[in-house]
Structure 1
Amino acid sequence: MPAFEYEALDAKGKKSKGLITADSEVAARRELRGRSMAPLTIRHADQRAERRANSGTDRAAGFALGPSNLTNRQLMLITRQMASLIGAGMPIAETLGLIAQQGSKHHAKRILTAVRARVTEGEKLSTAMEGFPRSFPAVYRAMVAAGENTGGLGEVLARLADYLEKDEAVRSRVTGAMIYPAVLTTVALGVVTLLMTFIVPRIAEQFVGMGMDLPGLTQAMIAISEFLQVGWPFLLVGMIAVVVASLVLLRQEPVRRSFDAFLARIPALGSFLKQAESARFCRTMSILIESGSVLPDALRAARRAAGNLAFKDELGKVIQDVESGRGLSDSMRNRGWFPTLSLFMIAAGERSGALGEMFRRSADQLDQDVDRTISVGLNLLEPGIILVLGVVVVTIVLSIMLPIIQINTMALG
């Protein structure tokens, strides 16, 4: 039964919005009048949600119109709820309707109601989700389809929810851990800016008035201070222009691919990125294979889940090798992206027929390695920031002290 989004006046003349299911727009208006409501506008929720989800104009514009797609956290919560309800035997359409009615945001309610309408009309859940690709990524839909084909949708959704919860936990942990360094950096930069724009110029005037030859470090600091006082608008505009240009260029696939490949070649950062991409790949493969997907289809879905375009290209070569009859572990070994331990575990899974389980164990190990790397990196970040800013402050103070020492030396001589 189709879903409609309506605006109507209640018996007290108050405008209200909501969703209603009916056979047609006429039936929806009749249903609203039966509730003592005067309908103002009625739109197909399915078409409206799909148009908003695919356009993404609200989000891109940056105005306070509200999001049109499901956020990562919303998708995580919805997936967990669907896993619990469907696993308990509740029909899919009834599950979607219940989740939509209980505490969902308006845009999430619209999307879920539209998906429910498609399911009610006979579409599979994964097919119904295809109308909202920004809310339900391709790899997500592939996993749901695998669960539908094997009859284990509830189990697959539970694994998906675990994966999304872990990803959200890591993201929240990194965000929370970055708050203190961000505040520290902002305060320190404010202090440095104050020194360079107010303190250094006042002291420089005194030294210049004496007609003395200033040390090179002091002259450099005075030159930087004068530039900041006069050229800060140009510096600000230049920084904004660089950021905007970078964002625009990175939207171009060739530029993004080259940039991703460059990041992967940086010694420390590259190793971490490869580790993180491998963990995501192994987790996705474990869910798909244990859900009954055949290897080539699982590889294609995992490739769509990859965030690094250079890694996607390498996975494309792996898919070609596998489809030509080559072993998966052998092809992965030649790519240079995957840790040795994971390759051994995957090779063992191929020989024993437990490939999904080996991918899962490899993903668990890689997740632990990624968490450990993040912890070490965050622990080193704070003292690193303090060290860098300490060097900057010491340099500024030294540039002020050198002329004073020079004056004292001249006076004593």
Structure 2
Amino acid sequence: MAVFSYQAKTKDGKKLKGKIESVTKRDAMEELRSMDLVVFKVEPMNALLNKDITLRKTLKEKEFIIFLRQFATLLNAGILLVDSVELLAKQTTDSVLMVALETLASDVQNGEALSVAMTKQPKVFPDLLVHMTHSAEVSGRLEEVMDQMASYYEKQYRIKKKVETAMTYPLVVGTLAIGITIFLLVFIVPIFSDMFASMGGELPAITKLVLNLSNFFKDFWILMVLVVLLLVLASQRLLKQERYAYSKDVFV
């Protein structure tokens, strides 16, 4: 049995917070709902430290696209909005999407508009989808707009996968080339260095450069690894900033 913390509300509007033991998160939510509670949040707790476990999980794009397509199909078939969201929450295999949809269904059931409920979860529902949903609510074309948004995000997903596939080959080749070069400098070149030293004479400038690089890599390989790690971390941090991300996109 696992311990879960929850936030819920009674039919009278009273907010509740507490803990519940259950086998899975889904079972915990079902048990709370059987108590006539409107569940807002259920999170696993650390049994040893009795603190919430914070796991960084991201929504899978493919699951999100499938949700939009199925959502449009259910609405087009005449299924009620709340029933459609709850049904999709039970069917999805993505834990992030499941929690988001369960919260979305609860908010809509409490009288909020779908677009308003989506704004509470910006990490799951993009701004474009929220605005398009609001327009669809006004015009009464929700199922049509959801189908269009599914096609839009599906096209984006395919383009992204094509770019990733195109970038994989040069990235692998470049990594192998750098690895082989470092291997030669660290393990092979020193053999020739000893041979050149025993022969005597003046070495060409390019040969001296290669030997110096080999000695540098042998003596400061730890420093080189740290520099590479720092550059990777710094680039990731910079790319999270909008202006640097935009510059990167323009350059690429």
* CA-to-aligned-CA distance 1:96-115 (integer Å, 9 cap, x gap): 01111124333322211110
Cα distance in 2 for residues equivalent to 1:178 and 1:259: 18
* CA-to-aligned-CA distance 1:346-379 (integer Å, 9 cap, x gap): xxxxxxxxxxxxxxxxxxxxxxxxxxxxxxxxxx
Task: Determine if contact 1:8/1:17 at 8 Å carries over to the other structure.
Answer: no
Cα distance in 1 for residues equivalent to 2:208 and 2:176: 26
Within a 5 Å distance, the mapping from 1:83-232 to structure 2 comes to 83-232=72-221
Match of 1:52 in 2: none
Of 247, 257, 260, the residue aligned with 2:246 is 260
Cα distance in 1 for residues equivalent to 2:123 and 2:144: 24
User: Alpha carbons of 1:20 and 1:259: their partners in 2 closer, same or farther (altered >3 Å)?
Assistant: closer
User: Alpha carbons of 1:262 and 1:97: their partners in 2 closer, same or farther (altered >3 Å)?
Assistant: closer
Q: Which has the higher contact order (CA 8 A, sep 6+)?
A: 1
1:46 paired with 2:43, answer no
Aligned-pair distance for 1:228? 0.8
Q: CA RMSD in A?
A: 3.0
Cα distance in 1 for residues equivalent to 2:152 and 2:167: 23
Query: More strand by proportion, 1 or 2?
Result: 2
SS at match of 2:180: helix
Cα distance in 2 for residues equivalent to 1:58 and 1:167: 27
SS at match of 1:46: strand
Q: How many pairs are equivalent?
A: 228
Aligned-pair distance for 1:251? 4.2
- Determine which structure has more spread, i.e. the larger CA radius of gyration: 1
Percent identical among aligned pairs is 28
TM-score normalised over the length of structure 1 = 0.49
Task: Determine if contact 2:238/2:244 at 8 Å carries over to the other structure.
Answer: no
Cα distance in 2 for residues equivalent to 1:241 and 1:231: 15
Aligned-pair distance for 1:146? 0.9
- For structure 2, which runs of at least 5 residues remain unmatched after alignment? 1-7, 11-15, 44-53
Match of 1:357 in 2: none
User: Alpha carbons of 1:217 and 1:45: their partners in 2 closer, same or farther (altered >3 Å)?
Assistant: farther
TM-score normalised over the length of structure 2 = 0.78
User: Alpha carbons of 1:240 and 1:6: their partners in 2 closer, same or farther (altered >3 Å)?
Assistant: same
Task: Determine if contact 1:82/1:95 at 8 Å carries over to the other structure.
Answer: yes
Query: More helix by proportion, 1 or 2?
Result: 1
Aligned-pair distance for 1:30? 4.2
User: Alpha carbons of 1:114 and 1:163: their partners in 2 closer, same or farther (altered >3 Å)?
Assistant: same
Cα distance in 2 for residues equivalent to 1:178 and 1:249: 21
Cα distance in 2 for residues equivalent to 1:7 and 1:176: 45
* CA-to-aligned-CA distance 1:69-93 (integer Å, 9 cap, x gap): 5332222111111111112221110
Match of 2:13 in 1: none
User: Alpha carbons of 1:242 and 1:83: their partners in 2 closer, same or farther (altered >3 Å)?
Assistant: same
Task: Determine if contact 1:80/1:158 at 8 Å carries over to the other structure.
Answer: yes
Match of 2:25 in 1: 17
